[in-house]
Amino acid sequence: MTESAIRTVQLRKEFGTRVAVDGLDLDVHRGEVFGLLGPNGSGKTTTIRILCGLLRPTAGSAEVVGIDVVREPERVRTRIGYMSQRFGLYDDLTVLENVRFYGGLYGLRGRALQTRTDELADELGFGGRMSQMAGTLSGGWKQRLALACATAHRPDLLFLDEPTAGVDPSARQRFWEHIGRLRAQGTTILLTTHYMDEAERCERLVFLSAGRLIAEGSPAEITRQFGAPTLEAVFIALQRQAEAA
């Protein structure tokens, strides 16, 4: 079995005359926390949608947990979880009903579904909130519920697309405690974020600009490459370049 959780070779995606992803080579190791960073419009979300089997690339290849995303997109989706700021919770269902619904989508039934629901309620501290309507939850609790739904089937790989945008610092800290537990269990994490303190938690990361990979390495290696004091300084410089283009 390959040691790569994600491998892309010269991945390219065009939307008409616009090139959203331009010759992207990635190699994400199994079990690591990997950051995909860059200004808005740099190609991050398009890349994730390709890796989730939701978009077909114009050229190049991509494998996720050893599965070709073009040939077997449905099989890819059984092995991954996806969470974003706009994760599709059902406000008119309870916390319990949301978890059961998403667990059922991934094939959990009967006792297995009940056991996993109980585990998630304990791990994420829902307690008496399991009967609460999702629409009445605060932002931080909705975030926890989204994470529960995205990991109900114990995915090998979890995509986090700006998952903590709009939640308070305390909720972000608790979220990262949960991510740390998933990482310890062997789950590979790929995330996008505009919070550079979160980017610092990545073992490795890449910066994209206009769909191209322009930097790759550990946070320390990236800052050295750009001659910048912090990742935030790197990000701000790239953002200004993108706005001026």
Strands 33-37 and 188-192: parallel
Domains of the chain by residue range: 1-79+190-245
pLDDT over 80 at 95, yes or no: yes
Phi, psi of 241 (to 5 degrees): -65, -40
> 1-79+190-245 — its CATH code?
3.40.50.300
Model pLDDT for residues 26-62, shown as the tens digit of each residue: 999 999 999 999 988 899 999 999 999 999 999 999 9
Residues whose CB is less than 8 angstroms from the CB of residue 71 and which lie 6 or more positions away in sequence, other chains included: none
Q: Decide if 30 contacts 24 (C-beta within 8 A).
A: no
- Cα distances from 31 to residues 5, 80, 102, 187, 200, in angstroms, run 8, 13, 24, 5, 17
Asked if 129 and 117 touch (Cβ cutoff 8 Å), the reply is no
State the pLDDT at residue 170. 87
Q: What is the CA radius of gyration of the chain?
A: 18
Residue located via tokens 């890349």: 47
Per-residue burial over 100-123, b = 16 or more CB atoms within 10 Å of its CB, e = otherwise: bebbeebebeeeebeebbeebbee
Write out the two tokens for 20.
């959203």
From CA 177, how far away is CA 171, in angstroms rounded?
Answer: 10
pLDDT in tens, 166-182: 888 888 898 999 999 99
Number of Cβ within 10 Å of residue 78's Cβ equals: 14
pLDDT tens digits, 184-194:
999 999 999 98
Among 48, 70, 49, 52, residue whose Cα is nearest residue 61: 70
Concatenated DSSP letters of 179-207: HHHHHHTT-EEEEE-S-HHHHTT-SEEEE
- With a cut of 90, say whether residue 80 has pLDDT above it: yes
* Structure confidence at residue 245 (pLDDT): 64
Q: Which pLDDT does position 1 carry in this prediction? A: 42
Query: Residue 237 — pLDDT band, cuts 50, 70, 90?
Result: confident
Query: Residue 241's pLDDT band (boundaries 50, 70, 90)?
Result: confident
